[in-house]
Amino acid sequence: DALRERLAGGVEGLLCMLTDPVGADLIAAAPDLRAVSTYAVGTDNIDLAAAAERGIPVGHTPDVLTETSADLALALMLAVMRRIPAGDAEVRAGEWLTWEPARLLGHDLHRATVGIVGLGRIGQAVKRRVEGFGARVVHSGRTDGMPVEQLLEEADVVTLHCPLTDATRGLIDEAALRRMGPDAYLVNTARGPVVDTDALRRALEEGWIAGAALDVTDPEPLPADHPLLSAPNLVVAPHLGSASHETRAEMADIAVDNLLAGLAGTPLPHRAN
């Protein structure tokens, strides 16, 4: 409603975030809109076709956040596999009284098979990182790699780096989670709706998988009283994939450059539609 009110009269450019829904109705309600630029790489919040019908270019910020997002995926992977948040919580609660051989045992990344779903820019950057740890890597992509079902059965860690499309929405559902073993981990730094939230909650509560680490959720933001947050062996970050000083500054520059180019009627440096 706020966006519609602001766009109603005379506004020619929109600089939005990934949490702003820019659908066909909103575009139709902005008669003077000539350019849209999103401060993100993903564009699933924008109706690209509706913008194209109006001749409105849509800019986004690819490439610049690839390495930073891959860093976070690796951090989440290590955090959930080695139970770092649980250990931190025990220390802060005064429960770290002595060293015990079987206390807070996790699993090794260097011994693991890591399954990457979506071997695009970020997926390839994650591949380089986990191979540096000595992990074995398998992948599933749109045109190459193994079937997702086989990957789920082989991988000790499944890390998601696919875009949100009709084909990937709900990709990790109950059937997919049951294919993973009780010692397997799920990492999602792609988009929340790629994972069935309720199925993931049950998978963690009933021990279908060992744990999960999420930078994205469905819904997002995740309410503090959401049932998923009571599930065991879960790490959740508030969508920090690109959250470094350096990367966010570069994203801002690109987003503004895209918008200024669109308003000037020149080609956008990074156009999505």
List the chain pLDDT tens, one digit each, 273 residues: 899 999 988 999 999 998 899 999 999 999 999 999 999 998 989 999 999 999 999 999 999 999 999 999 999 999 999 999 999 999 999 999 898 999 999 999 999 999 999 999 999 999 999 999 999 999 999 889 999 999 999 999 999 999 999 999 999 999 999 999 999 999 999 999 999 999 999 999 999 999 999 999 999 999 999 999 999 999 999 999 999 999 999 999 999 999 999 999 999 999 999
Query: What DSSP element (H or E) covers 139?
Result: strand 136-140
**Per-residue pLDDT, 129:** 98
Q: For residue 186, what are the CA distances in angstroms to 101, 183, 200?
A: 26, 10, 9
> Residue 159: CB partners within 8 Å, gap ≥ 6?
73, 77, 114, 115, 116, 117, 126, 186, 187, 188, 189
Q: Report how far residue 245's alpha carbon sits from residue 249's, in angstroms, rounded to the nearest whole number.
A: 6
**Per-residue pLDDT, 165:** 92
Q: For residue 228, what are the CA distances in angstroms to 2, 13, 188, 193, 234?
A: 30, 38, 14, 14, 9
**Could you tell me the strand order of the sheet in which 211-214 lies?**
136-140, 113-117, 157-160, 185-188, 211-214, 234-236
**Per-residue pLDDT, 88:** 96
Question: Which token pair is 145?
Answer: 């790699």
Q: For residue 36, what are the CA distances in angstroms to 1, 12, 41, 247?
A: 17, 9, 13, 21
Closest CA to 60 of 252, 266, 218, 233: 252
Q: What is the pTM of this model?
A: 0.90
Q: For residue 2, what are the CA distances in angstroms to 22, 37, 46, 75?
A: 12, 17, 16, 36
Rounded to 10°, the helix 84-92/66-81 angle is 60
Q: Give the pairing type, strands 211-214 and 185-188.
A: parallel
Asked if 212 and 235 count as a contact pair (C-beta separation under 8 A), the reply is yes
CA triple 78-120-129, angle to 5 deg: 30
Q: Write out the catalytic residue numbers.
A: 191, 220, 239
**Per-residue pLDDT, 9:** 82
Q: Report how far residue 121's alpha carbon sits from residue 60's, in angstroms, rounded to the nearest whole number.
A: 15
Asked if 156 and 107 count as a contact pair (C-beta separation under 8 A), the reply is yes
Q: What are the two backbone dihedrals, phi and then psi, of residue 41, each rounded to the nearest 5 degrees?
A: -90, -35
Asked if 79 and 104 count as a contact pair (C-beta separation under 8 A), the reply is no
**At 173, which amino acid appears?**
D
Question: Which token pair is 134?
Answer: 């000595």
